[in-house]
Chain A
């Protein structure tokens, strides 16, 4: 290809605002109150808890109390909350290294999550997993996968088991926009479609993979939705910063899956406020882009306004926020006081007999 024939790529910055307008929330009339106040309060509570817990994780990282790496989803809370509130207790969720939000959203206690980030004995996996591998089988959180795309086929397997045994749980699989360019994405989508599996694939399009705008490395504008038709699926793009929109779409996809009508692929438009991982200040983003998203499209601000429209007073909102902070504080103190994992767990659970022996 000669330089002349190269068409300039549209940057994420140019594209993003248009997208959000297109996906703007519908007019909020009483007739539109299909969600109900209790559910709305729940959606709000979970978003706030995720935000507070992740912000605390960042503070703890600055104090060198959170070790290794960590990937925050500040700004993406509406997706985790919207899906988790729509899930049934038996549903299984699969997420990525950016999985704190999805883990918390399903009701895993903050102390367990922060404890794992701080690699203490009270953590979800007693420090054997780390922030990129949060798992709580008890809560249906079937793991956080650090190899891009690996969990999409795995989620298919969980859905296959449900289909085979006649269980009605759904496998929900969260991943980023960058993941849509890896082979496993395409294998999983085709596999799920031909086997009609009860699995819901959720692309969190935060406009960047690590440091590169997704538009620079992807041939289509909507990396997930534009490819859906290749697998016989409808193209779905929603405003991922509006928890109501997410919740509604999740419910539709779950109903379809439980009815035996197969998988869904949903692309949620969103934006991460922080860098890719703890080491990344996110300097590659155009001036004003982050500020615009924070000011105009922060999911928590959107939701506060939403609640106000539905008549929730600021007192009630403040109460929810205060309760969340209390939880974060208590969890932080518990984790600071927790011991490091004992060395004798080093070689446990390599094999099913509980040990690591590979020879007699």
Chain B
């Protein structure tokens, strides 16, 4: 058992899979010698060399296109897109190519690859380097979408993503890279499509993803201490596949649902879950589903402004305590 940072967990997960399977190769901008702009891939170049860990030109389309071509002909590439905002530059591959090839070819073409990318705000980078865009990927049939909140999940879910036969977009949160957590020694393999109940509770369910998970946990402790509200906190972990069973089971128990999202409010993943719960568990609800989101604005750079935009433990506490009155 060792204490690892989230960024070290990324490198550990990739290394674990590259040691296990020679077909796993890794490419991206500045990922090899430099170890990545977030230093999340340090040591891979030294261990696996320039044939398996490759620096690319600044060519996001070429990175994802090449990953796809290699995947459909037999390799299992991991491709890094530095900031998730840049997925827009190669969105054709995300939206039209990788997820559709299997369907259009009636199952002839397979596309087992992982696109890793730094997602989310908190670094004062402004509107083009801070977005949470997991909802961009979630809406596309054929993709799987994962966003871990802690080092242990990073290793296990990354391994599961690499071994998955479908294209997986793996959202790492930039503001979590420095987070530390215990990670057991040896091989770790998690399961996609499983949410985790991090804090059991009986009064309300809070769903959160990535950076919002530690914030939701902190809010839950304060809600219990200050308001006597006992919240169940669920780390959604994977948007596609989505563990609806765990979510609906929790709502059946608590009767109340709050989602905490970093997306702009319009069409965030919480809206989809609210709709599922309204459809399938309406009579379990003791009150409306409440979504705690960022407003529908681009992200500002200034630290005081960025801080207001993201849901904070204080906002989560205030929202939940008010609607539970």
Contacts and interface: CB of A to CB of B under 8 A. Distances in A.
Instruction: Answer yes or no: do A and B interact.
Output: yes
Nearest to A156: B66
Given A137-B105, A354-B107, A191 B73 contact: no
Interface in B88-118: 92-93, 96-97, 101-110, 112
Contact of B62 (A92, A129, A156, A359): A156
B123 interface: no
B106 A160 contact: no
A153 B105 contact: no
A128 B103 contact: yes
A153 B72 contact: no
A350 interface: yes
A358 B242 contact: yes
Interface stretch (B8-16, B53-61, B151-159): B53-61
B88 to A, nearest CB: 13
A358 B244 CA distance: 10
A127 B48 CA distance: 43
Contacts of A348: 106-107
Interface stretch (A11-19, A144-152, A251-259, A318-326): A144-152
Interface string A142-176: 11010100111111111111101100000100000
Chain A: number of interface residues, binned into ranges: 35 or more
Contact of B96 (A147, A158, A349): A147
Contacts of B68: 153-154, 157
B108 A135 contact: yes
B65 interface: yes
Given A125-B106, A183-B61, A350-B103, A157 B66 contact: yes
B70 interface: yes
B59 A137 contact: no
A171 B65 CA distance: 13
A194 B56 CA distance: 9
A150 B59 contact: no
Nearest to A183: B61
Contacts of A100: none
Contacts of A191: 56-57, 59, 62, 66
A76 interface: no
B250 to A, nearest CB: 14
B228 to A, nearest CB: 33
B70 A160 contact: yes
Contacts of B56: 191
Contact of A360 (B52, B63, B166, B245): B245
Contacts of B200: none
Contacts of B142: 350-351
Contacts of A187: 57, 59-62, 65
Contacts of A137: 105, 108-109
A160 B23 CA distance: 12
Contacts of A151: 65
Given A133-B105, A191-B59, A359-B241, A158 B69 contact: yes
A143 B101 contact: yes
B103 A360 contact: no
B97 A352 contact: no
B2 interface: no
Contact of A184 (B61, B107, B109): B61
A67 B131 CA distance: 42
Chain B: number of interface residues, binned into ranges: 35 or more
Given A133-B105, A164-B25, A190-B59, A359 B65 contact: no
A274 B81 CA distance: 41
B69 A350 contact: no
A62 interface: no
B212 interface: no
B196 to A, nearest CB: 14
B110 A352 contact: yes
Interface string A296-308: 0000000000000
A151 B242 CA distance: 31
A136 B108 CA distance: 7
Contacts of B70: 157-158, 160-161, 164
B69 A159 contact: yes
Given A188-B62, A359-B244, A154 B69 contact: yes
Interface string A91-124: 0100000000000000000000000000000001
B107 A160 contact: no
Contacts of B60: 187
B109 A135 contact: yes
Given A135-B108, A188-B62, 15 more contacts: A128-B104, A136-B108, A142-B73, A154-B97, A156-B65, A157-B66, A157-B77, A158-B72, A160-B70, A164-B70, A171-B69, A187-B60, A350-B102, A350-B141, A352-B166
What 6 A-B pairs have minimum CB-CB distances, sorted nearest first?
A: A157-B69, A153-B65, A352-B165, A157-B66, A187-B59, A187-B62
21 contacts: A125-B105, A125-B106, A133-B104, A135-B105, A138-B108, A143-B72, A143-B104, A154-B68, A154-B72, A157-B68, A157-B71, A158-B72, A161-B74, A187-B60, A187-B65, A190-B62, A352-B110, A352-B165, A354-B107, A356-B141, A360-B243
